[in-house]
Amino acid sequence: MTYKIDQAALDTLFLKARSQNGWTSEPVTDAELKALYDLYVYGPTSANTQPARLVFVKSEEAKARLQPLLSEGNQKAMAAPVIALIGYDLEFYEKIPQLFPHNPGFKDLFLKNPGMVEPHAFRNSSLQGAYLILAARAVGLDVGPMSGFNAPAVDEAFFAGTKIKTNFICALGHGEPSKVFDRLPRLPFEEGAKIV
């Protein structure tokens, strides 16, 4: 198979990339987070609605608010320089005139069908969270995505007064190689896909 990107890029994004369980003391700069964002934002979403909203938890004060909301097994994330909260905005449709300018009336689809809002926001913010992981790897950061946290409490602590809910979280930094687990199995094509 011939790929459109070179082997080094494939290794960085997929083949040698690993979820991290430990972190070095090397900091993550605001410039790195902005570079990550500027890359991540180009991942496609349905009708370009971009419902994800990110909070980069970096300060000691913000980390102190987050720590008691993480499960025991995910306390390891506190050693990362940054923990990204990937949320989804239940009022994402308000940005449709800005993000989908050739059809600003598309907003009405969600206003008239409120049952479509949360599934759309959750699905597309999940896509955006995956783009965030790949963008982080592309700018030289390691990632540790996780689900174990008290979502309503995280919403209250970081998204209070908004219509944003937390989807998942992702530690960001420079991974400590000695803390990486052995790679786990993946399903072969025959078990995970089919061509019809």
Q: Which helix (H) or strand (E) holds 143?
A: strand 142-146
C-alpha 38/C-alpha 195 separation (Å) is 35
Residue at 29 is within a domain:
yes
User: Average per-residue pLDDT in the chain?
Assistant: 97
Task: Please say if the pLDDT value at position 104 is more than 90.
Answer: no
List Cβ neighbours of 36 (8 Å cut-off, separation of 6 or more).
132, 135, 136, 139, 141, 172
Task: Please say if the pLDDT value at position 196 is more than 90.
Answer: yes
C-alpha 34/C-alpha 163 separation (Å) is 24
Query: Structure tokens of 13?
Result: 């994004």
Residue at 2 is within a domain:
no
Burial class (CB in 10 A: 0-12, 13-18, 19+), 14: exposed
* 128, 43 contact by CB (below 8 A): yes
pLDDT in tens, 110-164: 999 999 999 999 999 999 999 999 999 999 999 999 999 999 999 999 999 999 9
Nearest Cα residue to 21 out of 183, 177, 184, 186: 177
CATH code for the domain in which residue 63 is found: 3.40.109.10
pLDDT in tens, 1-39: 889 999 999 999 999 999 999 999 999 999 999 999 999
Residue at 44 is within a domain:
yes
Residue at 163 is within a domain:
yes
Residue at 136 is within a domain:
yes
Question: For residue 172, what are the domain limits?
Answer: 7-177
Range 79-100 average pLDDT: 98
Residue at 1 is within a domain:
no
Query: Structure tokens of 129?
Result: 């969270």
Residue at 185 is within a domain:
no
Share of the chain above pLDDT 70, in %: 100
Neighbours of 179 (CB within 10 A): 15
Instruction: Give pLDDT, residue 141.
Output: 98
Q: Model's pTM, two decimal places?
A: 0.96
**Could you give the number of structural domains in the chain?**
1
pLDDT in tens, 48-73: 999 999 999 999 999 999 999 999 99
Residue at 193 is within a domain:
no
